[in-house]
């Protein structure tokens, strides 16, 4: 029988393939002695397969387009950290706390209706329609609810909805609630400053850093230290609130200014709001009346007129002015509220608050000279501070002699009260106009940008007449002359303009006080909007009956906090130049 010859495998790989096939047949042949090897081989196959799947899942989790989109969206949506705001003594006025917010990835939510039903069940204040519209988009990231409680977070977590997660955020809180609300302003839900110092901080580059992608925390940011003293702030607000209730005023406001540094030590405007609930700040009656309101300041403006007259050299402390009868100009006649019907010296014009006397002073200087002086004193342009909210003054479009006469005693020019406060500070601190600030600084730093606007001799004369107005019986500032603090001051009452006309029964009253008058450290300002005549005011609603005593209460309460202890003996020679000149009232 013929046999075919054996054919040898051709090529170098043939023996290897033959051996591999033989080894595989042997491995899977059902023999007991091969079972261990089979188990090991199967195990290796499963381990390899699952390692491949697991690695792929990790890769997708780290690098997938969806996750990257979520990360990019989250980085732009999460509220940025803000620096703490502290008062001059380091007390915290505003800070960040960590909160958690719920987000969703609409593209990864399978049953959107079920998700809406479940989420609104545990977060009942959600709008179901709005949430359904959000989840119905193709976006990779949407907010579900910002700033939830830990309990709400646990409830949402238990729902186990794929595509719904949590992100940590910063929430701005104000631990002292209404204290300094108009200065601090507030931040929105994205931790962006909307008003006040909060907005100022953003303008200094904070939002630029966040927009550039710098992940900063509050710990990386230096606290912003304000000039405010929280203790004085609380006391001022309390006294203003009492005064507002007592005199049934529509609104009230006050401020304390350091005349040597320009620092605002306290600022209150009532009614105010809680920056933790900033929606209240949008109400019209809750504006910052010290910065944003513009008002005719009434007779407090007479201090500027007297200073202008004395500093011009045309008049001196012993000059006299005819106030025997009304001052006529065309069809208008200017009269005095408390007419003396006699010739008055410069101090008497101030003490008797003579409209006639101050109008004659201004006419003597002239329209252009009057405008130039007020411009130099910062009364004819918007006063800019760290607060973004600053109002421009209302200036007569055509300023003639009659305007100069009425503006001399505080009618016809409306300014922000902080502007007037700044000017009075310059009148008493030696003649240096220092721009107010809400940030802590030293007197040396303040003087670097200060302007000498009146002579030191004029400043002494102004301190003298302010003190005289609080110390003589006929002076209108006696209601704020708290014993031991050597107070000087000036009242101001202006009729409010209603529908283009001055109202006879609606007043805007002001009181400016200097403490201590011989070496001033602080100027106090109180304003009251539409105070009423009440029991004990004998039918009057002028400043001496309301703004004056309220300011006195403030001085008595906060002067010790400001390091001004009461003096039980008057200074020996507080105004030496006035004594040498024999000014009216300087001799016992």
The DSSP secondary-structure symbol of 527 reads E
CB 575 within 8 A of CB 465: no
Q: What is the mean pLDDT of residues 500-517?
A: 90
Residue among 253, 258, 246 nearest 268 (CA): 253
Higher pLDDT, 301 or 216: 301
Residues recognised as catalytic: 299
- CA-based angle 555:560:562, to the nearest 5? 85
Asked if 295 and 494 count as a contact pair (C-beta separation under 8 A), the reply is yes
212 vs 487, residue with greater confidence: 487
Check whether 274 has a pLDDT greater than 60. yes
Is the pLDDT reported for residue 206 higher than 80?
no
The Cβ of residue 23 has, within 10 Å, a number of other Cβ atoms equal to 9
Domain boundaries, the chain: 82-225, 232-581
Q: Tell me the sheet residues that pair with 489.
A: 513
pLDDT score, position 379: 97
| Residue 219 pLDDT grade (very low, low, confident, very high; cuts 50, 70, 90) | low
Residue range 10-42, pLDDT digits in tens: 554 455 555 655 655 655 554 555 566 666 766
* CA triple 569-574-575, angle to 5 deg: 155
Lowest-pLDDT choice from 158-172, 244-258, 512-526: 158-172
DSSP 495-514: EEEETTEEEEEEEEEEEEEE
Given a contact cutoff of 8 angstroms between Cβ atoms, the answer to whether 191 and 203 are in contact is: no
Tokens 């904070």 correspond to what residue?
206
Residue whose tokens read 């051996």: 19
Long-range contacts of range 147-156, CB-CB < 8 Å, 24 or more positions apart? 147/99, 147/100, 147/101, 147/171, 147/189, 148/99, 148/100, 148/101, 148/102, 148/123, 150/100, 152/122, 152/123, 153/100, 153/102, 155/122, 156/102, 156/119, 156/122, 156/123
CB 508 within 8 A of CB 527: yes
pLDDT at 213: 46
Mean pLDDT score, 527-533: 95
Contacts 24+ apart (CB under 8 A), 445-450: 445/261, 446/260, 446/261, 446/262, 446/263, 450/262
Q: Check: CB of residue 87 under 8 Å from CB of residue 230.
A: yes
Q: What are phi and psi of 465, to 5 degrees?
A: -70, -30
The residues, ordered by sequence, that sit 6+ positions from 102 with a Cβ below 8 Å of its Cβ are: 119, 123, 143, 144, 145, 148, 153, 156, 164, 165, 166
| Spatial contact of 550 and 512, defined as CB atoms under 8 Å apart | no
Mean pLDDT (the chain) is 88
Whether 321 has a pLDDT exceeding 90, the answer reads yes
- Sign for the CA dihedral angle at 559, 564, 566, 567 comes to negative
Q: Return the half-sphere exposure (C-beta side, CA atoms, 13 A cut-off) of residue 516.
A: 18
Q: What is the pLDDT of residue 5?
A: 46
Tokens 């000087």 locate to 488
Q: pLDDT category, 587, cuts 50, 70, 90?
A: confident
Question: What pLDDT is stored for residue 217 in this prediction?
Answer: 62
Beta-sheet pairing, 332-334 with 343-345? unpaired
**Residue 180: which residues within 8 A CB-CB, separation 6 or more?**
87, 93, 226, 228, 230, 233, 267
Q: Which residues pair with 98 in a beta bridge?
A: 170
Is the model's pLDDT at 77 over the cut of 60? no
- The confidence score (pLDDT) of residue 139 equals 83
Q: In percent, how much of the chain has pLDDT > 90? A: 67
Confidence of residue 500 (pLDDT cuts 50, 70, 90): confident
Q: Are 381 and 458 in contact (CB under 8 A)?
A: no
Q: How far is CA 320 from CA 328, 373, 553, in A?
A: 19, 21, 35
Query: How remote is the C-alpha of 335 from its chain's centroid?
Result: 41
Decide: 224 and 211 in contact? Cβ < 8 Å: no
Handedness of CA 451, 454, 456, 461 (dihedral sign): negative
SS3 529: strand
Least confident of 156-170, 317-331, 405-419, 497-511: 497-511
DSSP track, 399-441: --HHHHHHHHTT-S-EE-HHHHHHHHHHHHTTSEE---BSB--
Least confident of 77-86, 339-348, 371-380, 524-533: 77-86
- Residues for the chain: how many in total? 588
Whether the per-residue pLDDT at 209 is higher than 70: the answer is no
Strands (DSSP E) contained in 488-584 are: 488-498, 501-515, 522-529
Question: How is residue 433 written in tokens?
Answer: 């106009």
Mean pLDDT to the nearest integer, 415-442: 97
**pLDDT (0 to 100) of residue 1:** 42
Please compute the mean of the pLDDT values over residues 308-332 and round it to a whole number.
Answer: 95
3-class state of residue 247 by DSSP: coil
The token duo for 169 is: 């955020």
Q: Which helix (H) or strand (E) holds 258?
A: strand 251-258
Lowest-confidence pick of 1-10, 128-137, 141-150, 343-352: 1-10
User: Which pLDDT does position 525 carry in this prediction?
Assistant: 98
Of 3.40.50.10860, 3.30.70.260, 3.40.710.10, 3.40.50.10470, the CATH number of 232-581 is 3.40.710.10
- The Cα–Cα gap between 241 and 557 comes to 14
Under the banding of pLDDT at 50, 70 and 90, the label for residue 2 is very low
Burial 47-62 (b: 16+ CB within 10 A, else e): eeeeeeeeeeeeeeee
Q: What mean pLDDT is predicted for residues 407-425?
A: 96
- pLDDT confidence band for 8 (50 / 70 / 90): very low
Tell me the per-residue pLDDT of 153-178, one tens digit each, with 9 for 90 and over.
999 999 988 889 998 888 899 999 99
pLDDT at 305: 98
- Predicted local confidence at residue 7, as pLDDT: 44
pLDDT band for position 207 (cuts 50, 70, 90): low
Tell me how far apart the terminal alpha carbons of the chain are, to the nearest angstrom.
Answer: 161
The CATH code of domain 82-225 reads 3.90.1310.10
**What pLDDT sits at residue 17?**
55
pLDDT of residue 390: 92
């Amino acid at each position: 029988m013929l046999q075919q010859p054996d054919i040898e495998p051709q090529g170098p790989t043939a023996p290897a393939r033959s051996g591999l096939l033989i080894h595989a047949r042997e491995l899977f042949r059902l023999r007991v002695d091969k079972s261990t090897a089979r188990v090991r081989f199967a195990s290796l196959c499963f381990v390899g397969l699952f390692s491949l799947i697991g690695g792929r899942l990790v890769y997708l989790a780290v690098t997938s387009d969806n996750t990257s989109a979520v990360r990019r969206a989250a980085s732009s949506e999460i509220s940025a950290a803000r620096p703490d705001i502290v008062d001059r003594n380091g007390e915290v006025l505003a800070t960040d706390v960590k909160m958690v917010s719920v987000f969703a990835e609409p593209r990864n939510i399978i049953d959107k209706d079920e998700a809406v039903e479940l989420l609104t069940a545990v977060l009942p204040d959600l709008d179901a329609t709005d949430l359904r519209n959000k989840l119905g988009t193709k976006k990779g990231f949407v907010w579900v609810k910002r700033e939830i409680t830990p309990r709400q977070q646990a409830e949402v977590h238990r729902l186990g909805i794929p595509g719904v997660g949590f992100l940590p955020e910063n929430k701005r809180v104000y631990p002292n609630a209404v204290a300094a609300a108009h200065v601090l302003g507030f931040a929105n839900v994205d931790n962006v400053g909307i008003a006040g110092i909060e907005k100022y901080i953003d303008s200094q580059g904070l939002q630029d850093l966040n927009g550039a992608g710098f992940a900063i925390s509050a710990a990386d940011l230096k606290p912003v230290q304000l000039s405010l003293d929280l203790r004085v702030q609380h006391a001022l607000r309390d006294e203003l609130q009492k005064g507002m209730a007592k005199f049934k005023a529509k609104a009230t406001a006050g401020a304390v200014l350091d005349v040597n540094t320009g620092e605002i030590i306290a600022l209150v405007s009532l009614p105010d709001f809680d920056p933790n609930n900033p929606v209240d700040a949008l109400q019209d009656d809750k504006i910052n009346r010290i910065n944003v309101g513009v008002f005719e300041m009434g007779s407090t403006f007479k201090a500027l007129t007297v200073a202008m007259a004395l500093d011009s050299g045309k008049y001196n402390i012993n000059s006299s002015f005819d106030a025997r009868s009304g001052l006529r100009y065309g069809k208008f006649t200017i009269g005095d509220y408390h007419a003396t019907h006699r010739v008055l010296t410069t101090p008497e014009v101030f003490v008797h608050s003579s409209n006639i006397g101050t109008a004659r002073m201004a006419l003597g200087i002239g329209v252009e000279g009057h405008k130039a002086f007020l411009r130099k004193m910062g009364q004819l342009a918007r006063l800019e501070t760290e607060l973004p909210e600053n109002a421009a003054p209302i200036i007569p479009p055509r300023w003639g002699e009659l305007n100069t006469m009425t503006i001399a005693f505080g009618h016809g020019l409306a300014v922000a009260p902080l502007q007037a406060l700044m000017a009075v500070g310059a009148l008493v601190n030696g003649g240096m106009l220092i721009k107010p600030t809400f940030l802590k600084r030293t007197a040396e730093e303040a003087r670097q940008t200060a302007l000498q606007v009146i002579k030191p001799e004029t400043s002494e004369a102004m301190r003298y007449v302010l003190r005289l107005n609080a110390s003589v019986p006929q002076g209108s500032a006696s209601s704020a002359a708290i014993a031991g603090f050597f107070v000087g001051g000036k009242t101001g009452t202006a009729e409010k303009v209603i529908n283009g006309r001055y109202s006879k029964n609606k007043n805007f009253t002001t009181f400016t006080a200097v403490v201590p008058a011989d070496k001033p450290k602080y100027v106090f300002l109180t304003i009251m909007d539409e105070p009423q005549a009440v029991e004990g005011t004998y039918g009057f609603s002028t400043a001496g009956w309301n703004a004056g005593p309220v300011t006195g209460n403030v001085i008595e309460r906060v002067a010790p906090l400001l390091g001004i202890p009461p003096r039980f003996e008057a200074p020996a020679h507080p105004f030496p130049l006035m004594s040498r000149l024999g000014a009216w009232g300087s001799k016992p």
